[in-house]
Structure 1
Amino acid sequence: MAGLSKLLGAVVAVSVFAAASASAQEVKHYRFAYDQPKDTGYGILADIFADKLKELSKGTMIIDQYPGAQLGQEPQVLQLVKAGDVEFCISASANAATLSPQAGVMSMHYLFRSEAHLIKAIGDPAVARAVKDMISDTVKGARVIALATLGLRSMYSKREIRNIADIKGLKVRVQATPTEDVTFPAYGAQVVHMPFGSVYTSLQTGVVDVAENGVNVYLANKHYEVAPVLSMTEHEANNSLVWISDKLWNSLTPEQQGWVQAAADDVNRTQPAKAIELEHQSAEKLKSMGVKIVTDVDKSGFIKVADPLLDKLASELGPHAVKVKDLIRAIK
């Protein structure tokens, strides 16, 4: 009897061990790459996604974050995601335009009227669906599962930019999209393309006179050290797309795909407001450090030039771009 008890005990122990081993093997880790530091809106996004996915999957799907361009700049990482070598990434909509030119619609100037409009538009399910459809129809190897934002972009330099006349003839580092290449010259500026990682040195050496980005990005990357005047032109949104490789997506069960999309939907709903809050906190920190923030920029000259370009540029980009533009403009 004692021998039987021992045998049963051993069987139970082996079964428990086998179950535990199987459970451990089911836990999978996935790379999530982005090019900004962790303490930015990208880090907020990645944390929301990782926490929700871990919760929904009961700890079987774990996100390993690679911030600060550890796996490469956004255009390179997008190619790695398409190839299935990286599972998830965040890209600016402007960099998404390297794969799908119509994504440039999200970077059009003064498409978003205010921070409140931006929060509402990025969180709108119809806008998210239209962008996902655009990527689905134009990109092979990867898909978009969520939209996010880092707030509105403004210009920074060694000088104040109080109106459109102040950037005439200046060399401005811009994102490499057709929308930027048309709009900034229409303001009278010269456009310069370069990877984000080169912006600091280029401002320092005078290769460019002006750069533009969100307040928190400006703070987190210490661009204020070489361009100590931030002029709140708020000319476009710093929008982002969350990508998953088709290789990973197609390997997931329908249940796992549901968890991934639900976690992404949580990003879409909650990240924009958190990112805007971070922008405001960053502005206060910059002021306390002595950075000059010009809040009373006369935007009317910029808007007068940019507004007629919205319909023109969207039409040139394509039907998906027109649909996204119209949906965003209709949101009150």
Structure 2
Amino acid sequence: MKTVSIPRHVFTVIASVSLLAAAVSAQAANWRGWNIHPDGYPNTEALEAFSEAVAERTDGRVTPRVYNNAVLGDQSDAIEQTRNGALDFANFNMGPMGPIVPETDVFSLPFLFTDIDHMHRVMDGEIGERFADALESKGLVVLSWFDSGARSIYNTQRPIRTPEDVRGLKIRVMNNDLYVQMMAALGGNATPMAYGEVYQSLTTGVLDGAENNFPSFESSNHYEAAGYFSLTEHLIIPECLCVAKSSWDALSEEDQEIVRDEGMKASELQRALWVESSEESRQLVLDAGVEINEVDDKQAFQTLMEPMYEEFIANNPGTGELIEEIRAAQ
């Protein structure tokens, strides 16, 4: 048999190709995404669609996978994990973002937005870009802004029609000092608590109520314990679809364009699904016997928030102008 001599440079080329293939494979070794919501939730559906589209359009170079129900930790932990690159992407509510990006605390001021459409106009415009820049400086690249509806108070005791109806109630709030101040201004006893503990606390009387939107109220089964849902609509808080800056910077320009484009599409889908889900959830809890009431005089609630606004502006120079910009956004 004749022996064939292979030049040394051929081995070098083969080795280089193997290393390149390994590098490509490593790059496609799955993006891990954090999500607090359950299967079927509007945000979950949008994140799943985002993941599938990104994987397909990048030919597997980026392969996102969403982990639902906060199985990778609570939101505070997930924010840190995403900032340091342990997680690659996530859907975050701006409520608990204040300790990392103080500018976002403005979204936790009650009655900042007049309605959902107003919030969309603000976040999709120049003001939203400024907030995106602030988040990126802390390691979170914003692809788009999600909806989280309007938060209202629900409880086990009575309808809330005036601030006086809140007095003495133990109400769960997210872990943010502004929410504690808000509830105290209404005469309630604010109780910061992990979301997963609320259902049992409502059934055992540890809590009298909580505050959230219709899809969360329904999907968490809180309506089984809390029979009164009052449309205070006191908070409208945007959410982001964010990518870890380290993961973003590792992408080619082509893949960055794909990921950002699919992030925008995910926002459009999430917002559309949110409207449908809110209507469906409202009808479901109504059929289950929950009493839902409008709040005719929201100004009475807003008036009690004025000292809170004054203190916030005094403690955060420059926010007065920002608040006026947000309120004036068309």
Q: Under TM normalisation by the shorter chain, which class is it? A: 0.7 to 0.9
User: How far apart, CA to CA, are the structure 2 residues paired with 1:31 and 1:104?
Assistant: 27
Q: How big is the shift at 1:273?
A: 4.0
* TM-score normalised over the length of structure 1: 0.83
Contact persistence 1:115–1:276 (CA under 8 A): no
> Counterparts of 1:97 and 1:51 in 2: how far apart (Å)?
31
**1:86 counterpart SS class:** coil
1:221 shift after superposition? 0.6
Distance across 1 between alignment mates of 2:191 and 2:63:
39
Residues 307-329 of structure 1: CA deviation (Å, up to 9, x unaligned): 5644652553454x556534431
User: Whole-Å Cα distance in 1 between the matches of residues 310 and 133 of structure 2?
Assistant: 20
- RMSD of aligned alpha carbons: 2.6
Name 1:148's counterpart in structure 2: 146
Alignment match, 2:242: 243
Q: Which runs of 5+ in 2 are unaligned?
A: 1-17
The structure whose RCO (Cα within 8 Å, separation 6+) is larger is 1
Tell me whether 1:275 sits opposite 2:274 in the alignment.
yes
Tell me the equivalent position of 1:83. 84
1:105–1:148 CA distance, 2 compared to 1 (3 A): same
**SS of the counterpart of 1:72?**
coil
Q: Equivalent residue for 1:134? A: 134
Q: In structure 1, what is the Cα distance between the partners aligned to 2:61 and 2:306?
A: 48
Per mean C-alpha deviation after superposition, the further-off stretch among 51-60 and 170-179 is 51-60
CA–CA distance in structure 2, aligned partners of residues 51 and 277 of structure 1: 22
The answer on whether the counterparts of 1:130 and 1:323 sit within 8 Å (CA) in structure 2 is no
Partner amino acid for 2:32?
R
Residue in structure 1 matched with residue 13 of structure 2 by the alignment = none
Q: Distance in 2 between matches of 1:313 and 1:190?
A: 20
Choose between structure 1 and 2: higher helix proportion: 1
Within 2, Cα distance between the matches of 1:244 and 1:55?
Answer: 18
Query: Larger deviation: 204-213 or 268-277?
Result: 268-277
Q: Percent of pairs identical after alignment?
A: 25
Deviation digits for residues 125-171 of structure 1 (CA, Å, limit 9, x no counterpart): 3232021122234x2x4333322122000111112111111001222
SS of residue matched to 2:117: helix
Q: Which moved more, 1:92-101 or 1:211-220?
A: 92-101
Tell me the amino acid that sits aligned with residue 149 of structure 2: G
1:1-332 equivalences under 5 Å are: 25=25, 27-122=28-123, 124-137=124-137, 139=138, 141-158=139-156, 159-307=158-306, 309-310=308-309, 312-314=311-313, 316-317=315-316, 319=318, 325-332=323-330
Paired amino acid for 2:297: D
Provide closer, same or farther for how the CA distance between residues 325 and 278 of structure 1 changes in structure 2, counting only shifts above 3 A: farther
CA distance in 1, matches of 2:317, 2:46: 29
CA contact (8 A) 2:119 2:238 kept: no
- Are 2:90 and 2:243, in contact at CA under 8 Å, matched by a contact in 1? yes
- CA drift at 1:87: 0.7
In the alignment, the residues of structure 1 paired with residue 288 and residue 245 of structure 2 have an alpha-carbon distance, to the nearest angstrom, of: 45
Q: Contact (CA 8 Å) 2:140, 2:243: kept in 1 or not?
A: yes
- Post-superposition Cα deviations, 1:28-63, rounded to whole Å, max 9, x if no partner, equal 421111111122232143134324424542443222
Contact between 1:161 and 1:297, CA under 8 Å: does it hold in 2? no
Confirm or deny: 8 A CA contact 1:150 1:276 kept in the other structure.
no
